[in-house]
Structure 1
Amino acid sequence: MKKVKNTCFIFLIAVLVFSCGNKTKKTTEKNIEVSESTDQPPNIVFILSDDQSWTDYSFMGDENIETPRIDQFASESLTFTQSYVPTPLCSPSLATIITGLYPKDHGILGNDKVYERVKGDRKASQENRAEAYKSVISAFEKQTTLPDRLKEKGYLSFQTGKWWHGNHRIGGFDYGMTHGDPTRGGRHGDYGLEIGRQGLDTINSYVDLALKEKKPFFLWYAPFLPHRPHNPPQRLFEKYKKKTDSEHLAKYWAMCEWFDETCGQLFDLIEDKGLTENTLFVYVCDNGWAQDPTKSGYLKHSKRAPYDMGIRTPIMYKWTGKIKPNMDTKTITSSIDMVPTVLDVLGIEKPENLPGVSVLDEKALNERKGIFGEVYAHDFDTIENSMFYNMAIFPPYKIIIPDPVRKKGEAIQLFNIDEDPFEKNNLAETHPEIVKELQEKITAFRAE
C-alpha cells in the first residue's frame, strides 16, 4: 500500500525529455514508430479540461469559441473526435483517467461519500464530509495508478490542478500541489487549483527538477478551467460580449479560450526547453458542460447526465515524429484507453484487469465493438444504492438504462448517435431487438 507523507510543501512540477536512439522499428498494425534502443523513454503529459462540452472547440465546429492552440494540437495528433469518459462527473472521471478502470472497479462513484449536511453550519458539514471520505481515500490508495506503473521505468510523476483523492501521493505522484488535508480546505485540488489560472511557474519548476535529475516525467495538468467560477480575463470577456446578449454565455466562452491560452503556454514551455520531440501529450475533458444562458449553471442534459453532452469528448495523442497525425471522426475510444496506450508506448505489458485497449493497436481497436458508461449519485454509497444510469455505446447505437429504483418511471432510451448526435429521437420502442441485445451486454459488463 502506498503511504502518504504529511507534508505542507507545494512542490513545483516538471516535464523532461531526452532524444530517442537512432534505431527504430514500425510495430505491426500500429500508427506509431517505437524506438528499439533509447537513452530515455518519452515524457508523458496528460492535459485535462474541466467542464467543457465536446462541441466547444473551434476545430469541432463551434462558430463562437476560439481555441487556436488546441486546434493546432488536434491537427498534429491522432485525434478521436467521438470519444468518451465513462461518467459525467469529475472525481470518478479523473479516477478512471489515472487508473484505466471503470468507476465500478476503482470505487470512486461520485464526488462525495454520503454525509450529513448540517443546515446553517458549513464547518460541521465539511467535517462530516471529510470523515465520510476517509474510507474512499483508503480504498483508492490500494489501486495501482499510472504513476505507480511508471516507477519501473524510472519516471518522476508530478500533479497539478484538480485532484480529489487526498494527498497527491495517494495517486502515486512523487511531487504535487495538492495536500488533500480537509482541515486546510483540501477537497478537490486545494493549491493545485491555482495552476493555469495563476500561471505555470510550478510546472516550470517541475520541468527543471526532472531535467536536473535526468529522469523522464509524467505530468498531470488538470487546471480548474473552464470550470466555474467563470471569471475570465476582462479582455476575453469583452471579446465574447460582442458575440452574445447572454453574459453567462460570454463568460463561459471566454473561459474556454482562457484554458486554450494556458495549453499554449504549456506547449511553449516544453518547446522552449527542447523537450517537445520526446514528449507524448494526451488530451481529454473530464466531463461535459452546456452553459445555461439565463444563469451561472449548466443545462440538465450535460454534466451529471448520461447524454453525449455529459460524457463525449475529443481525445488526442501527440508524439512528434512517432504517432501519425489523423483526425478520426468514426472510431469510438474512451478514457479507459489512455493508460493502456501509455503502457503500450513504453513496452509495459497491460495488466489483465484493465478493460481498455491501446489506441495505437489498430487490430485491438477494431475488434472492440463498444464501450460502457455509468452514472451514480453525486453523494454516493454502494453501487447498488447509488446507481442512476447504465450506458452502452455500440455504434451506431447508444442505450441509456435508468435504474428502476432511483430513476423510477424513466424510460429506456436508444439513439442512433451517427445520425442523431444530440440524441433527440428515442428509438427504443421501434428497435426492441437492439434494446435487448444491449441490455444483455450491460448485464455482462456489470458482472465482470
Structure 2
Amino acid sequence: MSRFILFAFSFFAVLSCKQENAQADTTLPNVIMLVGDDQGYPYFGFMGADYVHTPNMDTLAASGMLFTDGYVSDNHCRPSLQTLLNGMLPIDYYRAAGVQRDSLINALSIQEDSIAGFTREFDLRAKHMANFATLPTLLKQKGYVSFQGGKWWEYTFENGGFTHGMTKGWLESDQKTKNWFLEHMGGDGMDLARVTNQPAYDFLEETKGQPFFMWFAPSLPHYPFDAPQQYYDLYKDEDMTESAKQYYANCTWFDDAWGQLVAHLKEKGLYENTLIVYVNDNGWEQDPDQEFWDDPMRSHNGGDKGKGSIYDMSFRSPIIFSYPGKIASNTSTTALIHSADLPATILDYAGVEVPSNFYGKSYRSILEGKEETLRSSVYGNVITTRSDDPKNVMGDHVNGYWIRQGQWFLR
C-alpha cells in the first residue's frame, strides 16, 4: 500500500510539474520583428509627417513606447538585417565569419586556385549564418516556432534557424537570369505584402498553440515604386514631386500590409500576447520637394544624405516596442538605442540568456519605466558609401566610422 501511495504521489507530482511548465509556456510572448525596407525616419505620421498616410504605424507607435532616436548598424540592408538576427555589429560578425570560413578552407585542404570560388559560394549561400546563434535558434530553447517572410539575403530560411519560411534558396542557373538579384534578396519571400500575407497566416494556423517568432520584413517602401493605384491616389493631387508621391505610396502600402496582419492577429486572439518590435533596415531621404524620378542613382537610393551615405539620415530609425499590458502605451523617449539592442530585449522577455557575443543590451528596464537611459552614445563602422558613378548603385568601398552622442552626429 505504501508503495502505491509513493507511486501515486510521484505520478501526480510529475504531472503537476508538467502542468505548471505548460502553464508557464503560455505566458511566453509571441514576438513579431517588423522591419521596414528603405524607410526614412521622418516619413511617418507619428514622426510629424502629416503628409504621409501611415495610420496603422501611427496606431502601433501609440500602443507602446516609441524611441525617436534609434540607430541601425549599417547604411545598407544586409548587414543591418544580420544584426537583428545575431545581435552583433557587422564588423564583428564578418570578422568571425571570415575566421570560420578560413578554418574550413584549411580543414578541407582547398587548393589555392580554388579558394576564390569556394569563398564566393560560401558567402553567397550564407553558410556562415547557419553556425551563429540567431534569434530563432535561441528562442527555440523555449519551444518557439519561427517564420521568415520578406527580405532575406541568407540563402534559405533554415540558415537563420527558422522552422518555417518563404525563402527556400536558389539554383546555380538563377545567377545567369535577369531575376538573379531578386532571388538573392529573398526569392519567394519578396512576395510578402507586395503580393500576399497568406504565408504568414498559414504559419499561424499551422503552429497555433505554440509561442512564435515572426520575421515580417516586406521589401517596402523599397524600389520598385509600383504601389497599387489606391495608395498612389492618396498623393496624386498633393503639392509634391513625382518621386515623393511614388515613394510615399509605397510607405502607405507597407502600412496597409501591417494593418492587415494586425487585424488577423486580433481575429485569432493572438494580438494581446504579442510583443511587436519595429525598426527600419536603413534610412532614406525623400522630402516632398525633392525630385529624383529621372535620376538613375537617386531614383534607386533616394537623396544623398539617405541610404548608403554616412549621414544621420542613413542610420537613424524610429524604434517601437508594443506589448499590451506589459509596456505602457503612448510613451515616447529620445533615449538612444541601437538595433543590436532589439534581439537582446526580445530574448530577455522570452526568458533566454543573452549570449556573450551580442553587442546589444536588453532595454526591458526602460520599457518598464525602471530606467530612463542605457546608452550615452551609439556608433558604427561602414564599408560602403554613396558613389558618384550612376552605374555603381551599391556604392564605393570605404572604411568609415560614425558616432551619435548627445545631439551630435559625427562621421
Q: Same fold (TM over 0.5)?
A: yes
Q: Is 1:370 equivalent to 2:359 in the alignment?
A: no
Measured after TM superposition, the shift of residue 388 of structure 1 is: 3.1
Matching residue within 270, 291, 295 for 1:293: 291
Identify the residue that residue 84 of structure 2 maps to in structure 1: 97
Q: Which has the higher helix share?
A: 2
Query: Is there any run of 5+ residues in structure 2 with no aligned partner, and where?
Result: 1-19, 97-115, 175-179, 294-298, 387-395
Identify the residue that residue 296 of structure 2 maps to in structure 1: none
AA paired with 1:84?
Y
Partner secondary structure for residue 261 of structure 2? helix
Q: 1:133 to 1:311 in 2, by over 3 A?
A: farther
AA paired with 2:81?
L
TM-score by length of 1: 0.72
Bigger mean CA offset, 252-261 vs 134-143: 134-143
- Aligned counterparts of 2:134 and 2:377: Cα–Cα separation in 1: 24
| 1:103-252 matched pairs, under 5 angstroms | 103-107=90-94, 132-135=120-123, 137-183=126-172, 184=174, 185=180, 186-211=183-208, 214-252=209-247
Measured after TM superposition, the shift of residue 108 of structure 1 is: 8.7
Identify the residue that residue 101 of structure 2 maps to in structure 1: none
Mapped contact 1:358–1:364 kept (Cα < 8 A) = no
Identify the residue that residue 400 of structure 2 maps to in structure 1: 389
Q: Is 1:273 equivalent to 2:284 in the alignment?
A: no
Q: 1:322 to 1:289 in 2, by over 3 A?
A: same
Measured after TM superposition, the shift of residue 220 of structure 1 is: 0.4
CA-to-aligned-CA distance 1:373-401 (integer Å, 9 cap, x gap): 2211379xxxxx9543111222133221x
Q: 1:95 to 1:300 in 2, by over 3 A?
A: same
AA paired with 1:261?
D
TM-score by length of 2: 0.78
Q: 1:108 to 1:70 in 2, by over 3 A?
A: farther
Measured after TM superposition, the shift of residue 247 of structure 1 is: 1.8
| 1:74-89 matched pairs, under 5 angstroms | 74-89=61-76
| 1:26-105 matched pairs, under 5 angstroms | 37=24, 39-105=26-92
AA paired with 1:91?
R
Identify the residue that residue 340 of structure 1 maps to in structure 2: 344
Q: 1:254 to 1:350 in 2, by over 3 A?
A: same
AA paired with 1:65?
V
Mapped contact 2:65–2:333 kept (Cα < 8 A) = no
AA paired with 2:340?
I
Partner secondary structure for residue 328 of structure 2? coil
Mapped contact 1:359–1:365 kept (Cα < 8 A) = no
Identify the residue that residue 410 of structure 2 maps to in structure 1: 399
Q: Tell me the C-alpha RMSD between the 2 structures.
A: 2.5
Q: 1:195 to 1:159 in 2, by over 3 A?
A: same
Bigger mean CA offset, 47-56 vs 304-313: 304-313
AA paired with 2:268?
K
- Aligned counterparts of 2:117 and 2:371: Cα–Cα separation in 1: 42
Mapped contact 2:44–2:53 kept (Cα < 8 A) = yes
Larger Rg: 2
Bigger mean CA offset, 299-308 vs 177-186: 177-186
Partner secondary structure for residue 63 of structure 1? coil
Partner secondary structure for residue 137 of structure 2? helix
Measured after TM superposition, the shift of residue 294 of structure 1 is: 3.0
Identify the residue that residue 415 of structure 1 maps to in structure 2: none
- Aligned counterparts of 2:200 and 2:46: Cα–Cα separation in 1: 27
CA-to-aligned-CA distance 1:44-70 (integer Å, 9 cap, x gap): 111101001100001101131110010
Mapped contact 1:87–1:287 kept (Cα < 8 A) = yes
Mapped contact 1:55–1:61 kept (Cα < 8 A) = yes
Measured after TM superposition, the shift of residue 135 of structure 1 is: 3.2
The percentage of counterpart residues that share the same residue type is: 34
CA-to-aligned-CA distance 1:299-340 (integer Å, 9 cap, x gap): 121001121211111111111111122433320001101111
Identify the residue that residue 406 of structure 1 maps to in structure 2: none
Query: Is there any run of 5+ residues in structure 1 with no aligned partner, and where?
Result: 1-22, 24-35, 110-127, 380-384, 401-448
Measured after TM superposition, the shift of residue 236 of structure 1 is: 1.9
AA paired with 1:72?
T
- Aligned counterparts of 1:341 and 1:366: Cα–Cα separation in 2: 14
- Aligned counterparts of 1:102 and 1:399: Cα–Cα separation in 2: 18
Partner secondary structure for residue 241 of structure 1? coil
- Aligned counterparts of 2:35 and 2:304: Cα–Cα separation in 1: 22
Measured after TM superposition, the shift of residue 79 of structure 1 is: 1.2
- Aligned counterparts of 2:259 and 2:138: Cα–Cα separation in 1: 28
CA-to-aligned-CA distance 1:358-380 (integer Å, 9 cap, x gap): 1112377734322212211379x
Partner secondary structure for residue 310 of structure 2? coil
Mapped contact 2:243–2:292 kept (Cα < 8 A) = yes
CA-to-aligned-CA distance 1:158-195 (integer Å, 9 cap, x gap): 10000001111100011111022253443011100001
AA paired with 1:169?
E
Bigger mean CA offset, 131-140 vs 346-355: 131-140
AA paired with 1:369?
S
Partner secondary structure for residue 358 of structure 1? coil
Mapped contact 2:54–2:252 kept (Cα < 8 A) = yes
- Aligned counterparts of 1:325 and 1:255: Cα–Cα separation in 2: 27
Mapped contact 2:376–2:405 kept (Cα < 8 A) = yes
Partner secondary structure for residue 225 of structure 1? coil
